[in-house]
Amino acid sequence: MFETVADFRRQAERLEADLTTRMVEVAALIDPPFTPAKCRRIKRLLAGIADRCAPLHRIWTAQMMTAESRALPFNHPDRVYFVGLNTRLQIWAGLPATLAVVLSGKPTPLVPDEPPDGSPEQGQLLAYQNCLDRLHSYFSPTPPHLYSPEIGRHGDLPYPFTRFFRLMQAVRRLVLAQGRGSASFLDVGCGVGLKLLQAAEFFDVVHGFDFDPERAAVAHRLVARAQRPQDRGFCADALTFDGYGDHDVIYAYKPLSDPDLLQQMERRIVAQAKPGALLILPYFEADFRFEDLGCTRLLDKVYLTGGAGQDVAPLLARAGHIGTVVPRPDAPRNVDEGFCAPVREALRRWGHLA
């Protein structure tokens, strides 16, 4: 029988310690793919946790009804503890909805269908695309154009920003499915660098270079202002660059218009790329020669290095069970998640929670 708020707290802390141990066990199982057997095991563990949360909630309610609890100063350690406990119980109450999606075992398409014509979603994407097109024109030292004065090179005409975002989201999920804890992204022919800012939302390190010194200088300044010291934009030639092997994801939107030079660039990239690097080549020529380059198609416009004809089904299946949320590593955690923290961190790691 409890006599004081301190008694309530001691019992609650013992229950929370037990719940934390159980949550660590659940968190260890939150690792895609989510097979039926794994989902059943997680559900059994969660049922046991729910049984242990019920008395914890009763303790919180009971102590709130005592005169001693109501008389505690606002900053008293016992009051602070029980206010935090109430928050943690509310966090627990919200977990089942998120876990239900994960434990359904249904994969999420890596690249979702385009929104239908006339839908609100299509209207939002068009407005977003138009906004970024204007930003691109604003930052460009010259008006955007298809062909560059340099023979055999394209000008600064970017791949549609909204399509790029869809590819970035898919490729990030593939990177996680490969077991890479972090990834480095390279934009070959980055122009003024707006794609680098987009890619920085998905990857830990972002580099990009452009053949044109003026555009490369704009990219350098733009990336520097984003205050991520690991990222950079610089001037280089895709045909002589030696750092392709330093990156996990390489993106090139046909910076070279001459067919022979374009193939020379592709061969150079693949020759240097580390096995398992992901190539994003959103132009039709790549569709016809990726196997000759020694790559395997993962998705439309996305290819895997390390040899043609690889079995990519397990990788795609695992990626389909990874969520689409990209949590910010620097996002402040304003609440103590307590015993819920192990599971919530696992959900964040696999893209199911912000």
Handedness of CA 34, 100, 331, 90 (dihedral sign): negative
Indicate if the pLDDT at residue 2 is higher than 70: no
Q: Over pLDDT 90: what percentage of the chain?
A: 86
Q: List pLDDT tens digits, range 222-252.
A: 999 998 999 999 999 999 999 999 999 999 9
Shared domain for 227 and 102, answered yes or no, is: no
Give the CA angle between residues 73, 76, 79 to the nearest 5°.
90
Is 354 part of any domain? no
One-letter amino acid for residue 150 of the chain: E
pLDDT value of position 155: 78
Residues 130 and 257 in one domain: yes
The token pair that represents 84 in the structure block: 């935090």
Strand order in the sheet with 205-210: 232-235, 205-210, 184-188, 249-252, 278-280, 302-304, 296-299
pLDDT at 146: 66
**How far is Cα 314 from Cα 323, in angstroms, rounded to an integer?**
16
pTM comes to 0.90
Of residues 153 and 164, more confidence is placed in 164
- Partners of residue 256 on adjacent β-strands: 153
* Under 8 Å between Cβ of 192 and 156: yes
Per-residue b or e along 250-268, where b marks 16 or more CB atoms closer than 10 Å to that residue's CB = bbbbbbbbeeebbeebbeb
| 32 lies in the same domain as 140 | no
How many whole angstroms separate alpha carbon 290 and alpha carbon 270? 10
| Domain contains 283 | yes
Whether 190 maps to a domain, the answer reads yes
Domain count, the chain: 2
| pLDDT score for 135 | 92
The string of pLDDT tens digits covering residues 289-342 is: 999 999 999 999 999 999 999 999 999 999 999 999 998 877 777 778 999 999
Cα angle, residue 61 at apex, residues 59 and 63 outer, rounded to 5° = 70
Integer Cα distance of 312 and 295 in angstroms: 11
The whole domain housing 282 covers: 120-319
CA 354: distance to chain centroid?
10
82 and 204 co-located in one domain: no
42 shares its domain with 68 = yes
Pairing mode of beta strands 278-280, 302-304:
antiparallel
Residue 328 falls within a domain, yes or no? no
Q: 189 is written with which tokens? A: 């022919």
Looking up residue 165, the CATH number of its domain turns out to be 3.40.50.150
Distance in angstroms (rounded) separating the CA atoms of residues 317 and 294: 22
91 vs 277: CA distance, rounded Å? 38
Same domain? For 309 and 219 the reply is yes
77-80: long-range contacts at Cβ-Cβ below 8 A with a sequence spacing of 24 or more?
A: 78/5, 78/6, 78/9
- Look at residue 324 and tell me if it is in a domain: no
* pLDDT score, position 3: 80
Q: What is the pLDDT of residue 288?
A: 92
Residue whose token pair is 């119980």: 89
* Residues 303 and 296: beta-carbon distance below 8 Å: yes
281 within some domain: yes
Is the Cα torsion angle 51, 97, 320, 332 positive or negative in sign?
Answer: negative
**Confidence band of 147 (pLDDT split at 50, 70, 90):** low
d(CA 292, CA 303): 12
Asked if 167 and 102 sit in the same domain, the reply is: no
Q: Which of 125, 251, 115, 109 is closest to 186 using CA atoms?
A: 251
Residue 17 forms part of a structural domain:
yes
Q: Is residue 72 part of a domain?
A: yes
Minimum mean pLDDT range among 139-143, 175-179, 254-258, 321-325: 139-143
- Whether the predicted pLDDT of 50 surpasses 70: yes
Tokens matching residue 117: 């014509």
* Stretch 43-65: mean pLDDT: 94
Write out the two tokens for 79: 């009051």
